[in-house]
Structures are given as structure tokens and as C-alpha cells.
Amino acid sequence: MKRKKMTCEIARNICIVQALAKLGHFPKRESEKEAWFLSPIRQETQASFKVDKTLNRWYDHGVGKGGNCIDLVCLTCSCSVKEALKILQNNNCSFSFQQQPILESKKAGITINKIKPITHPALIKYLLSRKIPLKIARLYCKEIRYIFKDKTYFAVGLKNQTEGWELRNKYYKNSISPKDITHIKNKDKLKNKSIRLILTEGMFDLLSILTYYPELRNDKTIDFLVLNSTTFADKAMELLNDYDTIELYLDNDKTGKRITQKFLEFSKNCTDKSGLYRNNKDINEWLVSKKEYPFE
């Protein structure tokens, strides 16, 4: 029997409390009208993630964000509404999209059993589907194999500043905590040398830039900073004063534009580069849309 297509209306009505339970998240305290959880999208010791049972809406007081089930998937997976609906459709409305590794590894029972250069054919095929050559991905990413609930998973991983990982494969986007920015430092220590910072929202934005601009790969005067989540914008600002030039390659959605403007107001050294992909959500979508593929 053909499954009913997932729509925004159906997705918005998915019970958030039941969905969280399927992911192993249970209320720390609960009443008839509301439930309070430890946040499933970040680490905390006191429950500040509220679900209003009557409205079927959530609100994370720690990051000041909330919404419905679609919004939760978009935030957790850093994806668009269209992608969120696919995730919900493919997982039979439980949105069991491998979100569990966001929790602290020991508590969640996650074991990383191998970190190695990317070699798995499925991951290589996935990278190529996003027009990222393997040699580019290998510059800063690894193949991560980990075990969760006696099952082995593999993904392309980008390490962050606090030993956590951003993970991507064809089927899902997730993280192994702690979640944090990724700051790649290649600074040339020569005095009077202008230092550039290229700032992106996600790992595939970084990989797309390195693919399209091959001259950047070996330029030791350039550092890279990947937010991994727009919630880390304020943390990133603490680093901007170290650079003469900051190039912003953030998403062309509402949140990306808001964060871009925030950076522009913070430092006169910031330049918005999103005009390159003005008709696309992000630079990787723009790269994939290009018919020609002259990149090496």
C-alpha cells in the first residue's frame, strides 16, 4: 500500500512528546498541559526544553527558539522544510533521523569505533552527488564509524573545537556532542601579512568553496570557520577581531540573512559573499545546480 505523502499539515500534527520518546528523550517533569525535557539539540543539566501538549509546540529556553515538529527537524538537521518533510516521510512520522548522537556520547551509548580517511564507496558517491571531489573532502573531513544500539553507522565527519563531530551521509544530518564551531587555523605567521577568514554555516559550504576556488586549498594566510549551527554566531564574533578580512558565505534564507547582517554590523571587516549564489539557498546548492563541472 502506498504511503500517504508527508505534507506540512500532517507533519505539524505529529505529537512531539511521542516523537521524542521514540528517540529516547523523556520528560524530567510533566503535567497535564506541558512536559519539560533536557534539550535534545544541545547539552544541559536542567530541563529547559518545554513542550506545550495542548498546542503541540516546543520551546527551547536555552537558545530562545521553538516551533512545531517541522521546525525541530529543521533545526536539528540544519535542513530546509522540504528536506525535513522527506526525513519525516522516510521515517514513518517518528522522525527517527539518527538524532540520538546529539546527546553526550557516554550517556547515549554511542561508541566511535573508527576514524579514518574517507574510503567507503557510498560516502564517495554521496560527496560526488554534491559535486565535492574526494580529495577536497579529505582535506578536513574523516570517515566516522560508530555504534549506536548495537548497529553500526558511517558518515562523513567534520571535527569541531570540543571534540564533537558533525556527521553527514545521504540519509541524514546529525552530530555527536558536544556541538560547537569548527575553527581551522592556517595562519601565516609572517608579520604584516593580511589574514583572511572564510566563515560558513555548514561543512558542505566549506567544501563547496574549496571546490570552486582551488587556490584557497594551500593558502596558509586563510583560516576557515564553520558555525555548524547559527546558534554559535555570538561565539564566532569573539574571534573576528583577529582578522583583517572576513568573508561570509551564509545561507540565503531568513536566518542566514539575519546572521549575515549581525556580522556586518559587528565588524567593518566583514563582507557578504552570498551574492554569488543569490538564487540558491546556499553555495552547495548553487554548485550542484551548475551544469558544467570544471573543478579539479
**Spans of all domains in the chain:** 8-95, 105-176, 182-289
Long-range contacts of 81-87 (CB under 8 A, 24+ apart): 81/8, 84/11, 85/6, 85/7, 85/8, 85/11, 86/6, 87/172
Tell me what percent of the residues of the chain surpass a pLDDT of 70: 83
Q: What are phi and psi of 17, to 5 degrees?
A: -60, -45
Can you read off the three cell numbers belonging to residue 38?
A: 533536557
Instruction: Find, among 75, 26, 74, 77, the residue nearest to 51 by Cα.
Output: 26
Q: Which residues contact 253 (CB under 8 A, 6 or more apart)?
A: 80, 281
Instruction: Reply yes or no on domain 182-289 having CATH 3.40.1360.10.
Output: yes
Q: Say yes or no: do domains 8-95 and 182-289 share a fold.
A: no
List, for residues 159-210, the tens digit of each pLDDT value: 999 988 998 888 777 778 788 999 999 865 555 455 899 999 999 999 999 9
Query: Which pLDDT does position 193 carry in this prediction?
Result: 54
Query: Which pLDDT does position 102 carry in this prediction?
Result: 35
**Residue 3: pLDDT band with limits 50, 70, 90:** low
| Contact by Cβ (8 Å): 222, 215 | no
d(CA 283, CA 37): 35
Number of H helices, E strands in the chain: 11, 15
d(CA 148, CA 34): 30
Between residues 248 and 79, the one the model is more confident about: 248
Place domain 8-95 in its CATH homologous superfamily.
Zinc finger, CHC2-typedomain (3.90.580.10)
**Residue 103: pLDDT band with limits 50, 70, 90:** very low
